[in-house]
Chain A
Amino acid sequence: MKTDAPQFILRDRMISPTVLQNILDNQKQYFMGASRIAIHTNDPITLNTALILGREYARDLLICRSDFSDLQADKLANEHQADLIITDYKIAPRVCRTSSNFPKPSGSLSIFTSGTTGKPKLAQHTWESISECAKHVGSTLAHKVWLMTYDITGYAGLQIFFSAYGSSGGIYYHSNTNDFNSLPEAILKYKVDIISGTPTFWRMLINAWPKKLPIPLIDQATLGGELVSQDILDLIQSFFSPKKITHIYASTEVGTAIVISDGHAGFPARQLDENSKNGLALRIRDGCLEIKSSKSACLSVNNATTGNNDGWIRTSDKVQTSGDRIYFVGRDDGCINVGGVKVFPEETESVINSLTGIFDCVVYSKKSPILGNILVADIVLKAGISLDIPQLKSELRELLPKYKIPQIINQVSSIKLSINGKKIRE
């Protein structure tokens, strides 16, 4: 075992297993003395130590999304009756309780999915199910260095953490926002073996690779979070020649559902099986994929898709059968996937409409070779107002995360409506 290998690397800061253990020993007392802990941080060490301790002590951990404001995080911690809130290195008890007083935690980890408008939805997992991915890391991939490309507070980021930590591997963190500056050099310097990212991330990484820099041989390339087409699989294969290339279909609600390593897009039709083997069943209804997980990867999500459907969750991902293969072809619910971020056009529309000078708007998607899809907004201005795109975008940056801001803005005189009076988003 590479005992001297760093556990985590944050740019040039290496955290060895010894240092990590010191931090864990210091933080232990807080986890022993609390039942339900909220965490709001961008710092990987703060989060990772909370994950390790939360699991060890079977606490209820509530992970706020990194783009929440302090106010939002505080509000959520209150709503969910957290008795401790951790923000970076500060640990703030919320309620004074003696250890005999607090309710026994159910031992869960809750993360937020992006909801439609307003409130984000909470998805609750057991510690076992959220960390189960470690079991699927083959023995040849133990003790490897993984690259973190995802938001550390989202489902995909957590899967990277548990897969790496659970296979005695290390993780390299380059930046919080995908910054491709000097990332190729860092991948070589820290001998990254496993890279998992969205197709958009992979396209950008390949584009950013300096011509003179050697290309590493990586053990495992994984894709997820966006529709995976054959061309991105072929591009990664030809550029990096990874020993293995895998794409994963997963969601925060259901967990990891489909794992394909045969180098082809889509998945084999024979995987459609209404009778679940190993806890997972797949079927197609009305052109969309439906999943039933008997292992209850997700204990509860306050949404309407579970319930009456006999346990089947409608993913809203449209599929098409071609011979013995099933391909993903888009969304059923109007949700637009912009570089891995799921955006509901209605949400962006209502924010744009809240600005002065805007009469109405319609937001829709346009295909992008870089991001998969980008947002376009057709805006109708109030009388006498002229379009100032830089000003408009700067106002939107105060209100929306950048992926939810339309990349293209057009001024139009009116918005097309369907016979039912609904906006046409084409």
Chain B
Amino acid sequence: MKSKISTLVINVIENVRKENGVKTEIEINENTNLLTDIGLDSLGLAAILVQLESKTGKDPFKKGFVRFSTLQELIKLYEN
């Protein structure tokens, strides 16, 4: 059951992977580890957060860094 936010997050991830020339085929599910499983490093992850902020208008990190490692955890940050 995909929510609007989760579709958006997955699209942003695909977009950033494409922009960075990451070609490996992967299956993204809610437990996918964003640091080790999607072929992106800290730069790619940072780009994902910028795109999510501009698309949702939300900044879950306004008050400081919040831990997240899986897709599900990232989606949760933008769902609140």
Query: Which A positions have Cβ atoms within 8 angstroms of B?
Result: 177-178, 180-181, 200, 203-204, 206-209, 211, 231-232, 235, 338-339, 366, 368-371, 374, 376, 389-390, 393-394, 397, 402-403, 405, 407-409
Contacts and interface: CB of A to CB of B under 8 A. Distances in A.
A231 B21 contact: no
A203 B46 contact: no
Given A370-B49, A390-B19, 6 more contacts: A181-B36, A204-B35, A208-B35, A235-B64, A368-B50, A407-B43
Given A181-B36, A208-B36, A371 B21 contact: no
B46 A370 contact: yes
Contacts of B50: 366, 368, 374, 376, 407-408
Contacts of B67: 206-207
Given A181-B36, A371-B42, A393 B47 contact: no
Interface in B21-80: 21, 33, 35-36, 41-47, 49-51, 61, 64-69
Give the interface size bracket for B toward A. 20 to 34
B61 A204 contact: no
29 contacts: A178-B41, A178-B42, A180-B35, A180-B36, A181-B36, A204-B35, A206-B67, A207-B35, A207-B67, A211-B69, A231-B64, A235-B64, A339-B42, A339-B43, A366-B50, A368-B46, A369-B61, A370-B65, A374-B50, A390-B18, A390-B19, A393-B21, A397-B21, A402-B43, A407-B43, A407-B44, A407-B46, A408-B50, A409-B19
Contacts of B51: 408
Contact of B43 (A371, A376, A389): A371
Contacts of B64: 231, 235, 369
Nearest to A239: B67
B11 interface: no
A338 B50 CA distance: 14
B7 interface: no
Contacts of A204: 35, 42
Nearest to B18: A390
